[in-house]
Structure 1
Amino acid sequence: MAVRRLVARVPLDELAPTFAEIRRRHEVAEVYPRDALADVDAARAANAHGGELAHVDGERADRTDLELVTIDPEGSRDLDQALAVEATDAGWLVHYAIADVGAHVTPGGALDRDTWSRVETVYCPDKRVGLHPPQLSEGFASLLPGQRTKAVLWSLEVASDGALGAARVERAWVTSRRQYSYDELRLAPPDEAKSLVDVMRTLGDARREYVRAGGGVTLPKPSQEVDVDNGQLTLEFRAATGIEDDNAQISLLTGEAAARMMLEAGVGVLRTMPPAQPEDIERLRRQALAIGVEWPHGASYGEVLDALDPATPKAAAFLTQATRLFRGAAWEPFDGQALPVPEHTTHGALARPYAHVTAPLRRLVDRYGTEVCLAHTSGRAVPEWVLAALPRLGETMMAGVRVGSAIDRECVDAVEAAVLKPHVGETFTAVGLDDRTIQLENPAVVATCAGEVKVGERQRVRLVTADAGKAEFQTVT
């Protein structure tokens, strides 16, 4: 029997109504309230005249001298971060400018209330519904190239072994010099960017090794994504590699600095995750043996990961099992009074305290964590509006992320079903991820499968159904 290989494409227009229905079902508001837009206009006016809204404390430095650049997916307009990295005799000096969203949102105002109802930006294949109106998130608050922008500027010293040294944060005016895309720097970096790519690689390597040495790990499991190309939807598996992961290491470094400041201040909101338990590690060790992944005596889980080739079937199955080690992530607010510091302050996968502060245009919690760090660095009291928000911030974030994850999964399921629907009854090559789940080699589909699934092995499966946003398979003997 022939094994089917097909090009995973479906017209965007065909599924746009399905995506709209998914958003409607999850009550995603695609229109911003008039009073929230009025707040945006007021913030834009203050910004244009170089002034500040009444709630903003302290002076704003002029750091437009810094040679900052942004690195994002092609076509991005909501630019949260701009960076400059310099090699020093002791290691590196990182300047990391983050969009100062807190300077544009009046606490308790209509825009503030609207962001609490949204929690985070929602991404669908046909459109993006921002946490903030695009006039703000893709306009005057975004770190667009050539634009004088209000930012929160982190200055981080990193030792040659990747350890975080001195860290400070301040409000500043900055100007990004250039907007790069990941593909541009990965495939053909311009001459003026080659030194940046090199220094980010060496810093990224040092940070990855530092995290591993401290007992942290990274999971290089490719994520399933929908891409839009000339009006056609495609499915692919992607993992952050090269310049993308180097860039992510700087964000993680900043999150480590923020968590350290919050714990020093006794106020903040940490991103926590329980560490992997010994019984879970032992279960994964047995699963590795069953799959055929080598786990030498005395080797740690991180060392096993380092030796894996993520592209192989066995590695795909192992990484699927390994994600179960790290569950229970949460946002844990604390204020030193009614909200005590959590018993476990670390993020299990990073093996150190960590906080979200680097994506305030797209995630609600970052605005509040940033204000704590600004107050701590300057020696001021944490603003009352921040303290008042902390008790409900963690649960609000969890609820919002659950909605976003459900929307993402339903959109991917809809694309899978549309791609596969004409091929019901045909046979495909797949890798067994667990005893009920397979991953097709082509197209990039993860689906449930009945029958005897051989975990970590290639096998033939037949498409049984592809309807109502779901595809299901049956093993072929």
Structure 2
Amino acid sequence: MARRPPGGASLPPPRPRPAEGEAPLPSKEELRRFLRASPGKTGKTEIARHFGLSSDQRPALRELLRALKEDGSAQPAGRRGVSAPGRLPEMAVIEVTGTDPDGDPIARPLGWKPEVQGRMPVIFMRPERAGQAALAPGERVLAKLKPIGAGKYEGTTVKRVGSGTPARVLGIYEEGRIIPTDRRHRAEWAVPPGENGGAEPGEIVLAEPLPGRPLGLRPARIVERLGRMGEAKSISLICIHAHGIPEVFPAEAVREAERATGVAARGREDLRDIPLVTIDGEDARDFDDAVWAEPDGSGWRVIVAIADVAHYVTPGSALDREAWARGNSVYFPDRVVPILPEALSNGWCSLRPGEPRGCLFVEMRFDAGGTKASHRFGRAIMQSAARLTYEQVQAAHDAGEDPTGTLRALHGAYAALQAARDRRGTLDLDLPERRVRLDDRGRVLGVEPRARLDSHRLIEEFMVAANVCAAEELERLGQPCMYRVHDRPSDQKLEGLRQFLEAFDIALPPGDQLHPRNFAHVLDLVRGRPEERLVHETVLRAQSQAAYGPDNIGHFGLALARYAHFTSPIRRYADLLVHRALIRGLKLGTDGLEETEAARFPDTGEHITQTERRAAAAERDAVERYLAAFMSQRIGEVFEARISGVTRFGLFVTLESNGASGIVPLASLPDDRWTEDQARHGQRGHMLSGQRTGLTFTLGQAVEARLVEATPRTGGMVFHLMQGVPPRRAKPAGARRRS
């Protein structure tokens, strides 16, 4: 009989005494630590070897492992192995769920039970072998898995085992079939008679797969018609539905927004006499941040005021639930999908000039060198003095004018903050944003780089300073904080970047000595060189992705110890949480952060990180499709381009004029035996060499590329290179048409 302490619970059996000359059995905690440190599954042999156990101690070890499995400290792995809970085996069946920003597949393990095993791990799949179709969402494969971080794995396809049936199919209806809008989905769907839902050829449709799979195409029933391909807003419609972005607000959320009224001045500071101004893009539809500055001795006094969204969107309301689900607004060339209904996003939470608005503000004081001396947060009522555009502010500054009476002070404070940023040494990737110009009918007039002005940087510096103050204030108050975190690049990505930079005779310091200023130095070295854009893009891809979470690890790219988003609650849920935490901590009202919200911060951080990435992918897809629509009118023309990717199945090129990218199939190159040259650059995928022709194609190489295919439905483009092709007579224009 086991001894029972008071209360009746059984005591654990006494630890077996080791025989003379035997090592003692490990404790449960020692064994837990060993399993957590092991990269994959571990067998009893490895455990016994690590702890120096004899064969006579195997039965006792078996009982110890059984106890760990019962209390959840270990889980079976393979036939006889064990691993720490939440650990994936070396081989598993996984299902592709989407893609990362680089277009590589992301997957999840089948059969994972979050309530038992913890948070769902993320699997980043390696690109498929040459000749293999890319993995598409819903596809299932047996994959070899390698841990690359907490809850993260790298997967390599071993065998394709089929596809999970997608819940919906998005495509273009054409006489009895549906052509998918996702370029990774090559298989078309058949629409049986009577199942087309009234759709007409050329319409964008949503369909549901039907049971059964006869010979030929899989059957599907059309359940929703979304408009005609080529009409205004058709491209953004495709992207909204392809990425599952919520578009229609629940009726109760709309009613709550429409019941909103202006804030009362009582209980708030009055900033209406301070000439705060908003500075945004020409096409901005909402204005949620305003700025003002004045000299303060040898330094500067700066105020950043932000729309008081927390006053209107209270915890647990229908508006709050919908804003949480959306996570952030999504911006397309022709529309915005906001997190708040229009009555708030373009109404009471938009800082329109001459109209009183509620706000949260931070007042900051900086010395002449841009070092912050103090800050103070408050809740106020304000009235914007002017709605300015970046172009207006830049033009006034260039002309030495100050029509509002505050621009000189704003630029003076900005110069001080920029000096502090330069001393700090941040990573400033100056990749031009592409602007899509549309006419009233939604047709593409042009795609061009959006100008990057000092006025953009001015607002960015003020917003960064305010965000740092928010994180510092919440730490001072002991309040939960939804940090904006950015980890240093992984060792794996750094190694790939080092090998890439070796091609340009550029070196990086060891990982433990790496600082953002090292990347800035790399960018300085290539400034003005032909490979400048390619290096910028490659350095960007080597960085970790920023995320949201309650645990602070700092922001590597900005070289900041703490950082939180405070400046845009009208379009980011994270900022709304920071506002609520400040309201609670500073006792600025009864609508502050609630304990139940704070308890969900880890899950909320993961959720809004994913919605942000979903939005970025949808926005990127839209620009690619608009580009393809624009370029479809220029089939046959030849463009100046650079090689931006080298694979065994072909090349990727990016046009110098507008950033359009596409594939150059290997079959379109001159007939030759093409091999990847590893000797010169030390890494696969940097050069293709033809053994017979002597032609070489290198990453970053300037080329002439002829457009042969552009598909707005998918955003895909196909080019052929002119190198190695016999010269033809051509028009002398910059973009020449070839027959």
TM-score above 0.5, yes or no = yes
Greater Rg over alpha carbons, structure: 2
Aligned to 1:416: 627
Worse overlay, 79-88 or 259-268? 259-268
* CA–CA separation in structure 1 for the residues paired with 2:525 and 2:459: 23
User: What secondary structure is seen at the aligned counterpart in 2 of 1:243?
Assistant: helix
Q: How far 1:167 sits from its partner (Å)? A: 1.2
Which of 390-399 and 137-146 deviates more? 390-399
Cα distance, 1:246 vs structure 2? 1.2
User: Which amino acid in the other structure matches residue 297 of structure 2?
Assistant: D
- Residue 262 of structure 1 contacts residue 269 of structure 1 at CA under 8 Å; is this kept in 2? no
Counterparts of 1:187-336 in structure 2 under 5 Å? 187-188=395-396, 191-193=401-403, 196-228=406-438, 231=441, 232-233=443-444, 234-238=446-450, 240-264=452-476, 265-276=478-489, 284=497, 287-291=500-504, 300-306=518-524, 309=527, 313-333=530-550
Q: What CA distance in whole angstroms lies between the structure 1 residues aligned with 2:531 and 2:411?
A: 28
Distance in structure 1 (CA, Å) of the matches to 2:497 and 2:238:
39
Matched, 1:458 2:702: yes
The match for 1:71 among 241, 256, 279 is 279
Distance in 1 (alpha carbons) for counterparts of 2:547 and 2:491:
21
| AA matched with 2:700 | G
User: Which deviates more, 459-468 or 274-283?
Assistant: 274-283
Quote the Cα distance in structure 1 between the aligned partners of 2:664 and 2:612: 28
CA distance in 1, matches of 2:606, 2:489: 23
Offset at residue 308 of structure 1 (A): 5.1
Higher deviation after alignment, 350-359 or 421-430: 421-430
1:273 deviation in Å? 0.9
1:439 and 2:651 correspond: no
Q: 1:56 matched to which residue of 2?
A: none
- Distance in 2 of aligned mates of 1:118 and 1:156: 32
CA distance in 2, matches of 1:147, 1:324: 43
| Structure 2 residue corresponding to 1:186, chosen from 382, 394, 398 | 394
- Kindly indicate whether the alpha-carbon contact (under 8 Å) linking 2:414 and 2:458 is maintained by their aligned counterparts in 1: yes
In 1, the alpha carbon distance for the partners of 2:710 and 2:603 equals 41
Give the aligned residue type for 2:485: T
TM-score by length of 2: 0.56
The code of the aligned residue for 1:252 comes to V
CA distance in 1 between partners of 2:298 and 2:396 (Å):
30
What residue identity is the alignment partner of 1:251?
Answer: M
Identity of matched residues, %: 27
After alignment, is 417-426 or 240-249 more displaced? 417-426
Whether the 8 Å CA contact 2:275–2:385 is kept in 1: the answer is yes
Q: Secondary structure at the match of 1:313?
A: coil
Instruction: Say if 2:707 and 2:720, in contact at 8 Å, map to a contact too.
Output: yes
Q: Determine if contact 2:526/2:535 at 8 Å carries over to the other structure.
A: no
Q: Decide whether aligned partners of structure 1 residues 180 and 325 sit closer, same or farther in structure 2, where only a CA change above 3 A counts.
A: same
**Separation in 2 of the partners of 1:92 and 1:439?**
44
Amino acid of the residue matched to residue 221 of structure 1? L
How far the C-alpha of 1:363 sits from its partner, in A, is 0.8
1:29-428 equivalence runs, <5 A: 29-44=246-261, 47=262, 50=264, 59-188=267-396, 191-193=401-403, 196-228=406-438, 231=441, 232-233=443-444, 234-238=446-450, 240-264=452-476, 265-276=478-489, 284=497, 287-291=500-504, 300-306=518-524, 309=527, 313-333=530-550, 341-342=551-552, 344=553, 346-352=554-560, 353-378=562-587, 383-384=594-595, 386-428=597-639
State the 1:237 CA deviation.
2.1
* Mapped partners of 1:442, 1:293: distance in 2: 27
With a CA cutoff of 8 Å and minimum separation of 6, indicate the structure with the bigger relative contact order: 1
Change (3 A) 1:239 1:221: farther
Distance, in Å, in 2 between the alignment partners of 1:30 and 1:24 is 9
- Displacement of 1:266 in angstroms is 5.0
1:355 shift after superposition: 0.8
1:51 Cα deviation (Å)? 7.8
In structure 2, relative to structure 1, the CA distance for the partners of 1:236 and 1:255 (3 Å cut) is same
Q: Indicate how the Cα distance of structure 1 residues 257 and 173 shifts in structure 2: closer, same or farther if over 3 A, else same.
A: same
Show structure 2 runs of 5+ residues with no match. Answer: 1-228, 667-687, 689-696, 724-739
CA distance in 1, matches of 2:437, 2:427: 28
Deviations 1:182-217 (A, max 9, x none): 112223469434764443334334333323322422
Shift of 1:385: 5.2
Question: Secondary structure in 2 aligned to 1:218?
Answer: coil
Does the 8 A contact of 2:301 with 2:365 survive in 1?
A: yes
- Structure 1 counterpart of 2:640: 429
In structure 2, distance between residues paired with 1:294 and 1:230: 50
User: RMSD value over aligned CA atoms?
Assistant: 3.0
Measure the CA separation in 2 of the matches of 1:295 and 1:457: 22
Provide, for residues 444-465 of structure 1, a one-character-per-residue CA deviation record: whole Å limited to 9, x for no partner: 4133444554333321123242
Aligned-partner Cα distance in 2 for 1:220–1:317: 12
Question: Counterpart of 2:245 in structure 1: which amino acid?
Answer: V
Contact 1:211 1:217 in 2 (8 A): no
Most deviating of 116-125 and 235-244: 235-244
Structure 1 residue 15, shift from structure 2 partner: 5.1
Please tell me whether the aligned partners of residues 461 and 475 of structure 1 are also in contact (alpha carbons under 8 angstroms). yes
Name the stretch that deviates more: 118-127 or 142-151.
118-127
Report the Cα distance in structure 1 between the residues aligned to 2:429 and 2:404, rounded to whole angstroms. 28
**Cα displacement string for residues 127-154 of structure 1 (whole angstroms, at most 9, x for unaligned residues):** 1121111111111221110010000011
Name the CA distance, whole Å, in 2 between partners of 1:205 and 1:100.
29
Call closer, same or farther: CA 1:378–1:248 in 2, change over 3 Å.
same
Any conservation in 1 of the 2:235–2:626 contact (CA below 8 Å)? Answer: no
How far apart in 1 are the matches of 2:430 and 2:493?
19
| Structure 2 residue matching 1:142: 3-state secondary structure | coil
Alpha carbons 1:86, 1:92 under 8 Å: kept: yes
Q: 1:307 to 1:239 in 2, by over 3 A?
A: farther
Report the Cα distance in structure 2 between the residues aligned to 1:389 and 1:159, rounded to whole angstroms. 39
Task: Indicate the residue corresponding to 2:721 in structure 1.
Answer: 475
CA offset digits 1:387-410 (Å, max 9, x no partner): 244232211112211221221122
Distance 1:448 1:74 in 2: 34
Q: 1:31: how far off?
A: 2.9
**Counterpart-to-counterpart distance in 1, 2:700 and 2:404:** 39
Greater shift, 262-271 or 133-142, is seen at 262-271
> For residues 25 and 63 of structure 1, what CA distance do their matches in structure 2 show?
44
The runs of 4+ residues in structure 1 deviating greater than 6 Å are: 292-296
Q: Deviations over 1:331-360 (max 9, x none)?
A: 112xxxxxxx44x2x111011121111011
Aligned-partner Cα distance in 1 for 2:703–2:564: 42
Tell me, in whole angstroms, the C-alpha distance in 2 between the residues paired with 1:389 and 1:71: 35
- Aligned AA (2:417): R
Give the secondary structure class of the aligned counterpart of 2:426.
coil
More helix, by proportion: 1
- Equivalent residue for 2:65? none
- For residues 202-253 of structure 1, the C-alpha deviation after alignment (integer angstroms, 9 at most, x for no partner) is 4334333323322422111112332335554221223633101111111111
How far apart in 2 are the matches of 1:210 and 1:220?
Answer: 19
Amino acid at match of 1:326: Q
User: Aligned AA for 2:500?
Assistant: Q
Distance 2:653 2:412 in 1: 37
Report the residue type matching 2:305 in the other structure.
Answer: A
TM-score (norm 1): 0.84
Other structure's SS at 1:146 match = coil
Range with bigger deviation, 160-169 or 285-294: 285-294
